Structure 1
Amino acid sequence: MSALFPRPRLTPAPGAVHVPGWLDEERQRELVAACREWARGPVPMRHTRLPGGGVMSVRTVCVGWHWLPYRYSRTADDVNGARVAAFPGWLAELGREALRDAYEDPAAGDGYDPDTALVNFYDGAARMGMHQDKDERSSAPVVSLSVGDTCVFRFGNPEGRGRPYTDVELSSGDLFVFGGPSRFAYHGVVRVLPGTGDPSVTGMACGRINVTLRMTGLAGG
């Protein structure tokens, strides 16, 4: 479903850019199909258990490297021990294209070689607390793609979980990139707005898929 009025690009903080509607419907369908395939294995989607005993409300499957708090591994040691699916070249190229468009610079994607993706599925009750993406050894930008229901995404600052922060609605097809001074900003998902996605595009009656591309800075494995 297209918006009645075009939504403007936003720059909530230096190095952070929101590009509404970046993925067209066909690319959204392709991304959903890929996510469904990754969720079938070799490592299934799971609710990640945190070291303190808590369980995340989102379900996650990883590509390239497996994330578990707070490190990366080639094998899903907290699930079934299997090696995660390989990171596809087309997804890396999508990440480079995202940087070029977000920063409006043909050279912005140069040297960007993401090697892991975290695929998070949010149902209507899922949330994500304010956190930093800091388990990577690389400070290259994070590329975030949204498909399905709209969410309220809270983007903060690198100093702490409190203010200043900006709440941004991320809808299906939206791109959000954060790098440079905002690479280690705290961020989270305050809530999901059920029923705001288009099932004819996503194949889902409800729910949100978020795919974040990152460079781990890790070698081999």
Structure 2
Amino acid sequence: MKLKSQLLGFVLSSFMASPILYAGSETSSALTNQLQQEINAYYNKYSKKEKFTAIAASVFIPQNQMNYKKEIKTVVFGTMGYPPISQPITSNNLFDIGSITKSFTALILLQLQTEDKLTLDDPLGKWLPQYPNWKNVTLRRLLNMTSGIPNYSEDDEFSKEMESHLDKIWTNEELLKYAHPEKPLKKKKEIFLNTLIPITFLLHW
């Protein structure tokens, strides 16, 4: 988590501080080179200490509003693993996004609150009545990991199913099934909650 926060921080500080909103091709190239240098420097300084072998970062550098996809610049540095798995990574390699999703999931809820579409003190029963055992859990408790809702990703059956179908695209409802909404909640002070994510996306869409 510390590493992910540091990486996010340096990417944001490097590019959000730039006064250029829409970059020309030369400026875009310069910013891409700048990001590559930052990535390389971070790797050389922290890879042994933080025990990672590669970094990939994608940054949106707007030039032409008609073609957003080409304006996402990706830079990489490092290898796929420790020797003997020492092949250099490329921009086509995939990474487990992990708990980075929790950051922008929380942002979605905060944005919806800013738009007066919900409040963080709303109970789930207001928005998702199909889960009556969770009806008194507030969105705030989801965000601060004190809801007591089980973590679907720790369910044994889910793990077996996922390992058997690595290419499966899961719906939010399918993921929540493995959080066992049919069971009463157990009282817990704190739980690391991946279940926050599919719940939030059900709220949003």
TM-score range normalised by the length of the shorter chain:
under 0.3
- Higher strand residue share: 1
- Higher helix residue share: 2
TM-score by length of 1: 0.26
